Amino acid sequence: MTVEELKSLIASGAIDTVLVAAPDKCGRFVGKRYTGTDFVESALGHGSHGCNYLMAVDINMDPQDGFKLVSWDQGFGDFAMTPDLSTLRALPWQPGAALVICDLNQEDGSPVAEAPRNVLRRAITALAEAGCEAFFASELEMFVYHTDYPTAFKSGYRDLKPVSDYRIDYHIMQPLREEDLFRRIRNELSAAGIPIENTKGEWGIGQHEVNMKYAPPLEMADRHILFKQGCKEIAQQTGRSLTFMAKPFAGEAGNSCHIHVSLFRDGKNAFWDAGKGGGSLLFRQFLGGLIKYCRELCYFFAPTINSYKRFEKWSWAPTRQAWSYDNRTVAFRVVGKGQSFRIENRTPGGDANPYMAYSAMLAAGLAGIRENLDCGDVYKGNAYVDDTLAEMPHTLRGAVALLRESALAKEFFGADVMEHHAHTGSLEADAFDRAVTDWERQRYFEQI
């Protein structure tokens, strides 16, 4: 949607609300709803503002201490929210509403270095300096329940009824029960500029997968978080809820966010060597960087306490680092041929912030190119049972420690940016350590 098209729709009354939103540390939108006329008269030319505590709150919007960027001691002033007008779009599931995605800037106009969208912008610049452009695609899974969000909240998210009665991976019949939801997701998100390729039942009970068409990294990351928001809102409109959390329930599959990446030069897939009919030197270097640096950058693929409960044997989530062709036990699965030849990073869960995850993949891959790394021989076998392979970190706290020790993270992201996000993870781990869980009461209340 162009600015002139938006103005025309507002003048005709077809659009009366414009959402002005920016991605936060958790990979979700925060912002404001403007009347259409006020957006045109003020925010369109001058942007909007939001309290800078948005970069220092946890997922429950509670301000946290210990950040250099913003704090109570600094008074929690404002950030500028600068609209990226290339992201203007109507939201079909919110009749009369449009959305524009914003960058977070300081009041002097300089980018907030720690803001995820700005982090990814710098990573894209680094990639361009290496003579490449990237294409990404997020492949997200979700569990869907016959309970709307307010009811699920009141129950403490317990005793939720999945929308399927048994495992429906690739099934055609039972997913028809939810076709009213997934037809809307396919059609309405596609109409919002998020092309959906297909939907399918997944392995978990009540689990579904949606595949989005690939795009340049910033556009794909924007699509990713709008996709998650749109799915939740459409689900609520149909009386359901759905979750992207990495491991909603023990004993069940987790939600992945497989991230596909390929590099292009001069319009051609630079990962593909047509003469060899396989991976190019650049592919081997980039993949070598992913393998070398995956552990120390794992926080950006797995940013919550819950993330690490997904890394479980026989669960379809990877537990060890290796690469292979079309092998779902490894962290990096290589698929496709020719222009579609790409690396699938199976490490991230549905809770990953796409801006940070994509940036981490570019950081690792570019380091692999710079250091002339090699990915080694293709792995054959079952990586779940191979103790010779390096494991993923087992906990959020362990991943944060590895990030803080990472010379690459300090160099690529900047020490202050790295520490801002590492501190976020550390505070989340502290919060979990203070929590008293159902597991503890069930285990100790009577018997200790």
**Cα 356 off chain centre by:** 8
For the segment 228-238, what is each residue's pLDDT rounded down to a tens digit? 999 999 999 99
In this prediction, what percent of the chain has a pLDDT beyond 70? 100
Across residues 221-247, what is the average pLDDT? 98
3-state secondary structure string, the chain? CCHHHHHHHHHHCCCCEEEEEEECCCCCEEEEEEEHHHHHHHHHHHCEEEEHHHHCECCCCCECCCCCCCCCCCCCCEEEEEEEEEEEEECCCCCCEEEEEEEEECCCCCECCCCHHHHHHHHHHHHHHCCCEEEEEEEEEEEEECCCHHHHHHCCCCCCCECCCCCCCCCCCHHHHHHHHHHHHHHHHHHCCCCEEEEEECCCCCEEEEEECCECHHHHHHHHHHHHHHHHHHHHHCCCEEECCCCCCCCCCCCEEEEEEEEEECCEECCEECCCCEECHHHHHHHHHHHHHCCCCHHHCCCCCHHHHCCCCCCCCCCECCEEECCCCCCEEEECCHHHCEEEECCCECCCCHHHHHHHHHHHHHHHHHCCCCCCCCCCCCHHHCCCCCECCCCHHHHHHHHHHCHHHHHHHCHHHHHHHHHHHHHHHHHHHHCCCHHHHHHHCCCC
Q: How far apart are CA 90 and CA 6, in angstroms?
A: 9
Cα separation, 170 vs 72, whole angstroms: 51
* Tens of pLDDT, residues 171-193: 887 778 899 999 999 999 999 99
Which pLDDT value is given to residue 362? Answer: 99
User: Is it the case that residue 169 has pLDDT exceeding 90?
Assistant: no
- pLDDT tens digits along 61-76: 999 999 999 999 999 9
pLDDT, one tens digit per residue, over 253-296 is 999 999 999 999 999 999 999 999 999 999 999 999 999 999 99
Q: What pLDDT sits at residue 170?
A: 82
Q: Give the Cβ contact number of residue 269 at 10 Å.
A: 22
Inter-axis angle of helices 415-434 and 396-405, nearest 10: 160
- List Cβ neighbours of 84 (8 Å cut-off, separation of 6 or more): 100, 101, 102, 103
Domain ranges of the chain: 3-110, 125-440
Position 45 scores a pLDDT of 87
Sort strands 268-269 and 272-273 into parallel, antiparallel or unpaired: unpaired
Give the amino acid at 250. A
Is the pLDDT at 326 greater than 90? The verdict is no
Query: Is there a common fold for 3-110 and 125-440?
Result: no
Mean of the per-residue pLDDT values of the chain: 96
CATH number of 125-440: 3.30.590.10
Structure confidence by residue, pLDDT tens digits, 121-152: 999 999 999 999 999 999 999 999 999 999 99
pLDDT of residue 298: 98
The pTM is what? Answer: 0.97
208 touches 244 (CB < 8 A): no
Which pLDDT belongs to residue 168?
A: 82
* Amino acid in the structure at residue 224: H
Which of 91, 90, 86 lies closest to 102 in space, CA to CA? 86
Burial class (CB in 10 A: 0-12, 13-18, 19+), 228: buried
CB 192 within 8 A of CB 89: yes
Q: What's the rounded mean pLDDT across residues 288-317?
A: 96
What are 130's two structure tokens?
Answer: 């290496």
In the structure encoding, which two tokens stand for residue 410, read together? 């300090």
Looking at domain 3-110, what is its CATH homologous superfamily? Glutamine synthetase, N-terminal domain (3.10.20.70)
Q: What is the pLDDT of residue 174?
A: 79
In angstroms, the CA 313 to CA 171 distance is 24
Residue 231 vs residues 21, 56, 93, 177: alpha-carbon distances, Å: 17, 27, 10, 17
Chain Cα centroid distance, residue 7 = 32
pLDDT digits (tens, 9 = 90+) for 27-53: 999 999 999 999 999 999 889 999 999
